[in-house]
Structure formats: C-alpha cells, structure tokens
Structure 1
Amino acid sequence: MSKYPTLLEQFRSFCFQNNAADLEQAIEYFAVFGGMGWSVDLSRPLEELIEEKVLNNYRYIHGDLAKITQSNKTHHAVLSALAVGDRREFSAFKRAGVEREEGEASIKFLVDNGLLVRERSQEQPIDEQEVVADKFLFTLPFMRFWFSAVSPYYKGVREGDFSEVKERWSHLQHEFSDHIYARLVMELVKKSFKEDPIEKIGSYWDKNGEIDILARTKSGRIVAGSCRYAKSKAKKSELTKLREQCSKAELHPDIYLIFSKSGFSNELKKEKGEGVRLFTLKNLRILVEELGKKDLLVNTNKKY
C-alpha cells in the first residue's frame, strides 16, 4: 500500500465500475467506498450499503488493516483524529491525546506505509515566525470513512451493535463529501487552464484563516478559489470574503474562482469575467468524460 492512483483516477474507476449517472450521488458514495474497488449498487440507500459491506464485514476489514497498522493504538488514534479534525498535524496529536514526538513517529509510519500523504500550505504566512503545521490526506477515501465513523466504535461493532456508528454517521454525513468535492474541484481547475497550465495547486492556511484553492500558472498568474457546498446559491459576499482572505494573507490573485454546488445569485453572476470564474456541479462532469475499460483500476482488495 505504498503507492496509490490519484483521487481522480480512483473516482473515474468508481464511476465506470458502478455505472454512475448522477454525479452528486457518485461523489457521496465515493466518499465512503472510494479506492476499494468494490461494486456498489447506487440504487440502494447508502446507509444500507454501509451496514452490508462494511459493518457486517468488520472483522475481515479490520484484520486486513491491522496488518498495515500493526494494530498500533497510536496509529489508530492519529488516523481517527485526522479523519474528523482539520487535518493539521499538531491539532491531530492533541485530539488523539499523544505527545508530539510519538505523534510524529506515527505520522512517519503512516506516510511510509501509504495510508497518508503530506500536504503543505501553498505559500508561507506573512509572519515569518509562525509555524504552519502540515495537513494530511488519506490516500483512499474509504480509509477516512473507516477511521472517522467505524474504527472508534469497534467494541460495539465487533459485538454486532451498530448503533454508535449509525448515530455518528448521521452527524458526519451532511458534510462528509465536501472534502472530496474540494479535491475534485482542484482537478477541474487544472483542466480549465489549458492555455496557461496550472503548475502548482493546493490550499493556503495560517493562524488567521484558510483559502480553499491557491494555484500558480505557468506564466506566473495567481489563482485563488473558494468552494461552497450549501444547497443555497452562492452570493456576491462569497467573492468579497475570498478577496478579504487573500488581502489578509497579502496575496494578490489575478483570477478568483468560486465553486458553488447549487449555482449563483444574479448579483454574483454579473461579476463573472476573465478575473472571476464561476463553477457549479455540472462543470465537474468534464472529469468523468469518455469513461471506458481503460479507467477501471486493477484492485486486489477483497470484494464485499
């Protein structure tokens, strides 16, 4: 498990394998089962599939993961902390209740063994003395689901009591796929700058705030973006907020991007132009165009 396909490759494989027609539903189910190569019946309720494929097979999945994590309690605590927190290294140690030295050793093990990848802020903060903690991404979406909603409640699940997991999932589900959206939007941004390719892309964070997307093109243009997942349309205030965040970080973007799953207000639409670009859910369809057998990843995981 030292090397995995990219998130986009995993998502394209998932969509092809499971004949995904509804993009929003595909992302929601991929956030739970992504990367495992399992066939998923998208016509069935997600909660039903979680119980059938994951909870009913807890012992087998746990056994496979334990071979990687060596059943180390610190590794499991750190993984669970990263799965539900802000993904920052030091806050994860605090949430997991581990000392920094122990936590750093655990992080190194988890990165070396392919469960996590390190993510660094795209720019240095204004305050040169500020230490900006790295963030970490799960290489497989399923692992984030497992360590956020299943692993912490192993005692009950092991005995066939799924009540804690179901209650936990009811609280997590609403925003759980937002993280996948953010990463897919970055892939969309890459594809949207063909004439002046994106050379560097990620997020920016410091003690004062975060910018969802910060990128630099081949010609040196700076691109800053905000992602919004609410069911209501994004308003002009979203653009104003993004500009303020950039100003605080002393960044001067050439192009602002707003992704809104549910569209935009007329006032924000009027801002659209070369310097302000707007993307919605339908724009993500470019990521799953021309799917075929070539996109199906070979996966050796057990099928459930």
Structure 2
Amino acid sequence: MEKFAIFGGVSWGKIDTTKPSYALIEELILKDYSYIRNDITELTDGQPLYHSILTAVAQSDGKLHAVFKRANVAEDVGQKAVETLRERGILRQKRCKGADDKLFFTTPFLRFWFAFVSPLFKGIRDGDFSEIKERWQRHENEFTHLTFKELSAELLRETFKEDSIMEMSEYWQNDALSIDIYGLTKSKKRVVGICKYTNTKVKKSELTRLQELCHKANIQADIFVLIAKKGFSSELKSQKSQQLKLYTLKNFKALVE
C-alpha cells in the first residue's frame, strides 16, 4: 500500500517492495531528480501557477476552495488552471456529499512528487536529501492514508457484487463531521464507512463513533463498513454480519487479481 502511494502510475519496471520506502525514494527518484523533473515539466509547461495548485492539492485534503486559498490564487484563475490540469490528465475532480468537490491526482506518483519533491527542489537539486527524508518520516502514514481511502472505495465496488454500489463519495458537513465512505447500492441500501490506516487494531469504539456521526448527520445507514490496516479487536470481529462488514489489507488482493 505504501509503495503504491509513492510509485503508483510509473512505468519503471519491477520495484523491489522488500526495500524500505525511503531507500527506494532516494534510489529511484532523488538520484534521478533532473530527468524526472524534465518529464513533469513537459506536463505542466513549468508554469508556476500550475505548480502552486498541484502542490496545494498534494498537501491538503483537496477541497477546491481550500486548494485555491493555499495556492493563493483567485477562484476564477484557479478554476481555469484546474480545467487545464484535468484536460492534461493530471488531476480529476470528485464529488463530496455536502461539501466542495475534491481534487485528486490521476496517479499516486504525481501526488508524491508535488507533496515532497517539488517543494524541496533546491536541496534535492544540490544533492542534499536531509529535508525530504525528515519530512517523509514525519508524514508517511498520513500521506498513505489518502491512497488507502481511495483504494478502499474501489475495493467496495469490487466486493459488493450481489447488490452493487451505484453511487459513492465522502460525506462532509464541517471539520468535526466527516465520513470516509458514503454510498448507495442498487437496492437503495445506504452504506457508510471509515478507513483506518493506523498501526493499532480498530476497536468497537470506532463503530460506535461512526454510528454517532450518522445520527448527527441524520443518515439512516443500512450497512456499516470498517476498513483497517491492522485489523480489528476480537469484540468487533464477533459482531461481523451483513450489516457490519470488516476489511483488512489482505482483502485488497481482490484489486490486484
């Protein structure tokens, strides 16, 4: 999952996923910085406006207004730039229930580049990798979480076969009320869920919190979904049913297959 969040979308042949992520970053990206930068410049024309927006998307949750504010661009200017970046196949726009649309990169690698490499180009250009190493070590779990959420949505589309999911988005009312997964199946069942990319098992309290969020948002959920990197407590696993679906990393093999 972590390696895909960094290298997804590249065509460099087989990547040795047994190596630590930062070692691969240094070996395959930083040491070839100039060549990769030239390829990316062809996509963006080297335009500072595009780079500002792409960096803002990479370092935020992708909500349109937040991106324009972070990039310090007027909305009309930002909208035109986003349209161009979408036409070039760099960004895509996704609906978020109850909030602004969100912007996502079409490939994980471009997100990694504009989150970690492009903002620190001076040191990298001069052969000093200390700042990017420190930033990666501080943010790697947080950074991978978004890729985990996106792939979780794809996993649900793949596994809900008898009653397929027809609509799926995130749900957001404010900073205190957001739900990772908000979907509707073919039979009109409402699916809500959360994704936890943490190094601890998810406990029953997370299900309780999700149920409370639904109550506050006045969402009548038919199916609850929890997706966790490290699995679940025994208490939570004992409650697994048609109304509570639990997924761990091993379930993502369905996407690979």
* Bin for the TM-score computed over the shorter chain: over 0.9
For residue 67 of structure 1, the aligned residue among 42, 48, 51 is 42
Q: CA deviation at 1:118?
A: 0.2
1:46 is the counterpart of 2:13:
no
Tell me the TM-score normalised to structure 1 length.
0.80
Equivalent residue, structure 2, for 1:272: 240
SS of 1:206 mapped into structure 2: strand
Q: CA deviation at 1:144?
A: 0.5
1:88 is the counterpart of 2:63:
yes
SS of 1:199 mapped into structure 2: strand
- Unaligned regions of 5+ residues in structure 1, if any? 1-26, 126-131, 290-304
1:34 is the counterpart of 2:2:
no
For residue 190 of structure 1, the aligned residue among 148, 154, 157 is 157
1:97 is the counterpart of 2:72:
yes
Q: CA deviation at 1:136?
A: 0.9
One-letter identity of the residue aligned with 2:31 = N
SS of 2:202 mapped into structure 1: coil
Equivalent residue, structure 2, for 1:298: none
- Unaligned regions of 5+ residues in structure 2, if any? none
One-letter identity of the residue aligned with 1:36 = V
Q: CA deviation at 1:243?
A: 1.2
Instruction: String of CA shifts for 1:67-108, please: whole Å, max 9, x gaps.
Output: 111111111111111111111111112222222222222211
Instruction: String of CA shifts for 1:102-142, please: whole Å, max 9, x gaps.
Output: 22222111111110000111x3x3xxxxxx22111110100
Aligned counterparts, 1:117-266, within 5 A: 117-121=92-96, 123=97, 125=98, 132-207=99-174, 208-266=176-234
Q: List structure 1 runs of 4+ shifted beyond 3 angstroms.
A: none
Aligned length: 255
The whole-number CA distance in structure 2 between the counterparts of 1:64 and 1:57 is 11
SS of 2:12 mapped into structure 1: coil
Q: CA deviation at 1:154?
A: 1.2
Higher RCO (CA 8 Å, separation ≥ 6 residues): 1
Identity over aligned pairs, percent: 44
The whole-number CA distance in structure 1 between the counterparts of 2:141 and 2:165 is 31
Does the CA contact (< 8 Å) of 2:141 and 2:198 recur in 1? Answer: no
| Backbone CA RMSD of aligned residues | 1.5
Does the CA contact (< 8 Å) of 2:94 and 2:102 recur in 1? Answer: yes
SS of 1:111 mapped into structure 2: helix
The whole-number CA distance in structure 2 between the counterparts of 1:218 and 1:173 is 36
Q: CA deviation at 1:180?
A: 1.6
SS of 2:226 mapped into structure 1: strand
The whole-number CA distance in structure 1 between the counterparts of 2:136 and 2:151 is 23
